[in-house]
Amino acid sequence: MTLTEAQQLGYINAQAADGRINVELETDDGMVLNMGPQHPATHGTLRLVARLDGEQVTSADVMCGYMHRGYEKLCEVRSYPQVTTLVNRIDWLGSFANEVPFILAAEQLMEVEAPPRAMWIRTILFELSRIANVSLFIGDLALQLGAQTPAFYAFRDREFVLNQIESVTGGRFHPNFDRIGGLKDDLPKGWIAETKAAMVRLRGFCDEMEGLVYGNEIFQTRTRGVGIIPAHVAQSYGLSGANLRGSGVDWDLRRDANVGLAYDQLDWKVWTHPDGDSYSRCWVRLQEVREATKIVDQLCDGLPGGGIMAKVPRIIKVPEGEAYIATENPLGAMGYYVVSKGDTGPFRVKIRSASFNNISVASWLLRGVYVPDIITILASLYFILGDIDR
Amino acid sequence: MAEDTTTTNTTDHDGAAVASDDRREALLAVFSDHLGDAVVGSHLKPGQALWIRVATAAWAEAALVARDKAGLKWFDFLSAIDWLPSPYGRYEDSSVDVPFPPPMPERSAAVPGYAGGNSRIQVLASVAQAGTDLRVLLKADVPDDDPRVPTWVRAYSGAAWHEREAHEMFGIGFDGNVDLRHIYLPSEFEGHPLRKEFPLLARVVKPWPGIVDVEPMPGEDPEDPEDDAAVAEESEA
C-alpha cells in the first residue's frame, strides 16, 4: 500500500464522514468496517470506521457527536444554580461527581467556602458516585468479552450504592444536590450505618470480580499486552483517571491537587500499574473501587458536626473573574473553566470532560490491532457517551 | 517585558494574605526566558492558578516551551472564549420587547479577562504537570479579520480533537492541523454555535417558561417583608 496516512484519512472521510456508509465496503486495498453508531461494543452512540487489511486495522476513525447537546451554550443562558441540573447529565453513571467541580469553581470566584460537614458529605457522595460508576464498568467489561454473569452481579451490587445516594438526594441518577456554599440537605437518620454495610457488600463484590473476571484465563489472554499506551503518549493525549495511572503515571487530582474536598485528611492509596495495557487499566479501576469503599468508611467515621450551608445570598451573583477547577471524577479529570462577568449566570463555561480526551487516543491506539481487540480496547478505555459529547 | 502583569491577592483559610507563589512565579519565568517579548500578559492568583497570554505568532512555540522547558507534559484542553457580550442577553426579554435579530453589540464591548488582550476571540488552553497541582492556562489573541492561530498538534497529540471542536464552535483556523472536520455537528452545518451572535434557537422558538409570568425577584419586591430580611442578610454577607 502506497497511500500516505493523510490520503487514507481523506479517502475514508470522503466516503464515511457524511454518514453515507452503513455497510461493509470492500475496495482494492482493504475493507472499511463500520461499527456503530448503534453497536453493542460502544455502549452508546459512538461510531467507529475502521479500515482493515485482512483482520488487522490499518486506520481507525472515531466519530462522535450523535449525542451532542450543546451544554456549553446552554450554560450561558442559565443561572449558576440551574447549571448543576444540566451538568448532572454529562457522565450519567456518576452524576453527583459532575456537579462538584462546577460548584467549587463558582465558590472559588465568590470566595465562599462550604462548612466542613458539607465538604465531607460531598466527598462521601463523590466516592459513592465513583463506586456506582466503576462497579458497573467491571460488569460491563465482562459482558463485552462474552460473559453474562458479572454484569448481573454488578447491577445487583450497584443497587446498594444507588439506594444510599437516593436516600440522601432523592435521585438515583441525577441528584442535583450540590449547592453553592454547601448542600441541599443533611444526611437522613441511620444512613451512616447503612452505608458502611453497603461498603462491606461492595468490597465483597470486588473480591468476587477479582476471581471471576480478572483471574479468568480468557480475560487475561485477551487484555494482557493488548492496547499498550506508553506514559508519554498518555500524557500527550491528556488521558486521565485509570487510563493514565494504568500507564504508570502516578497522578491523582484527589491527592495532588485537592480543592475543597476532604481527601487530604484521609489515609488511602493511589494505585498505578506499569504495563499500560488493557488489563492494567481495568485492574487500576478495580483497586480504585476498593480504595473508594475505604475512603467512604473513614469519612463516615470522622464526619464532623455543624451546619451544611455557608452564608450565601439568596440570589447568587458571582463576581467578575475566571476560575478553573478540575477534580478526579470516576472517568478521569473533569474540569470547568468558568468565566463570570458579575452576572447571575456564567459568561462562558468550558467543560473539560475526561472521556473526550480518553477516546481521542483510540485512532492512534487501534492502528495495527486485530478486529476482536477493538472491543476489549474500547471497553478498557471506558468512556461514557454523554461525557464525550456533552 | 510583560505589559499586562497582574497579581490577585487572595486569602488562605486562616485569613492571612498569601502574598507570593514561588512555584508559579518560577513557571512564569521559564516562559518569559524562552519566549521573551512574546509573553504579552500574565495573571497570577497565588495558590490557585497562573494565566499567561502569548503573542499569536508564538502560540505553537509556547506549547513546545510548556512541554519541553516547563515540564508541563500533560495536555488538558484547548478551547476559545468569545468576549463579545451576547446580543440576546440571556433570552429573558420577550420577542415583543426586542426585535429578532437584535442589534449586534459594539466591537469595543468585548473586554478580555485575565492577562488582557486586544481581540474579540481568544484561544485558551490548559497544560499541567502530572503528579503536581501545577498548571498553566495559556491564552492568545485570535485576530478579528483573520481568525487563525498555529496548531498545537506537534506538541500535544491530544490537541487535534480539541482544535476540531474549537474550529467548528468558533470558526478558528489552526494552521498545520490538516484534519479540521466537524466533530460534533453535521458536516453541512453552517455557523459557529459558541460565537455570541449565534442564537440559541430553542430559546428563540419557544420562550423560556420563566419569562411567561414574571414575578418580582426576591429582594426587589418592597411589599414582601421576608425579602427585606434577605436583603439585610445579603448586605451582611
CB spacing of B156 vs A13 below 8 angstroms: no
Distance between CA atoms of residues A100 and A128, nearest Å: 13
Nearest chain A Cα distance for residue B213, angstroms: 18
**A237-270 residue pLDDT tens:** 999 989 999 998 999 888 888 888 888 888 888 9
Closest CB to A238 among B74, B193, B217? B74
Of the partner residues A233, A235, A345, the one whose CB lies closest to the CB of residue B90: A345
pLDDT at B235: 53
Residue A281: all three cell numbers together: 487499566
Smallest Cα–Cα separation from A341: which of B85, B107, B139? B85
Closest to A116 measured CA to CA, from A316, A326, A309: A309
% of chain A with per-residue pLDDT over 90: 30
Kindly report the backbone phi and psi dihedral angles of residue A186, in degrees, each rounded to the nearest multiple of 5, phi listed first. -85, 175
B 108-147: CB under 8 A from A: 113-114, 124, 126, 130-133, 135, 137
Could you read off the pLDDT tens digit of each residue along chain B, which spans 237 residues? Answer: 445 565 554 434 444 445 567 888 888 888 888 888 888 888 888 888 899 999 998 999 999 999 998 889 999 999 999 998 888 777 666 555 667 677 788 877 888 888 888 888 999 999 999 888 888 999 999 998 889 999 999 889 899 999 999 999 999 999 888 888 888 888 788 889 898 888 887 777 776 665 555 556 666 655 555 555 545 555 554
* H/E segment holding residue A56: strand A56-63
Name every chain A residue with its beta carbon within 8 A of the beta carbon of B208: 77
A314 to chain B, closest Cα gap in Å: 7
User: What is the pLDDT, as a whole number, of residue A55?
Assistant: 85
What pLDDT score does A295 carry? 92
Q: Which residues fall within 8 angstroms of residue A245, CB to CB, at 6 or more apart?
A: A251, A252, A270, A271, A272, A273, A284
- Looking at beta carbons, which residues of chain A come within 8 Å of B219? 314-315
Per-residue pLDDT at B1:
41
Q: What is the number of other CB atoms lying within 10 angstroms of the CB of residue A255?
A: 17
CB contact under 8 A, B217 and A364: no
Query: Which pLDDT value is given to residue B117?
Result: 83
For A63, which residue in chain B has the nearest alpha carbon? Answer: B183
pLDDT of residue A163: 92
Q: Cβ A321–B208 below 8 Å, yes or no?
A: no
**Triad B128, B140, A361: Cα angle to 5°:** 45
pLDDT digits (tens, 9 = 90+) for A63-90: 888 888 889 988 888 888 888 888 888 8
The pLDDT, as a whole number, for residue A33 is 80
A337 vs B86: CB contact, 8 Å cut-off? no
Instruction: Work out whether strand B49-54 and strand B135-142 pair parallel, antiparallel, or are unpaired.
Output: parallel
Query: Are the C-beta atoms of residues B59 and B150 closer than 8 Å to each other?
Result: yes
Q: Is A284's pLDDT higher than 90?
A: yes
Asked if the Cβ–Cβ distance from A68 to B184 is below 8 Å, we say yes
Residue A313 has pLDDT above 50, yes or no: yes
pLDDT at A16 over 50: yes
Q: Would the CB atoms of A238 and B158 count as touching at under 8 Å?
A: yes
Q: What distance in Å separates residue A277's CA from the closest CA in chain B?
A: 19
Give mean pLDDT, residues A375-383: 87
- Determine the residue among B11, B161, B205 to mutate to test chain A binding: the one whose Cβ has the most chain A Cβ atoms within 10 Å: B161
- What is the average per-residue pLDDT within A43-48? 77
Separation of CA A326 from chain center:
13
Tens-digit pLDDT profile for residues B139-170: 999 998 889 999 999 889 899 999 999 999 99
Residue A311: pLDDT band (50, 70, 90) is confident
Inter-chain touch A321–B113, beta carbons under 8 Å: yes
* SS3 call for B142: strand
Average pLDDT score over chain A: 86
In what helix (H) or strand (E) does residue B154 lie, and over which residues does it extend?
none
| Facing A77 at nearest CB: one of B90, B230, B237 | B90
A232 to B73: CB separation less than 8 angstroms, yes or no: yes
Residues paired with residue A335 on neighbouring β-strands, in sequence order: A326, A352
Closest chain B residue by Cα to residue A79: B90
User: What percent of chain A has a predicted confidence (pLDDT) above 70?
Assistant: 92
Residue in A with minimal Cα distance to B80: A350
> How much is the pLDDT for B10?
41
Local structure of residue A40 (DSSP, 8 states): G
Choice between A26 and B205, residue whose per-residue pLDDT is larger: B205
Grid cell in block for residue B44: 497570577
Rounded distance between C-alpha atoms, residue B189 and residue A246, angstroms: 38
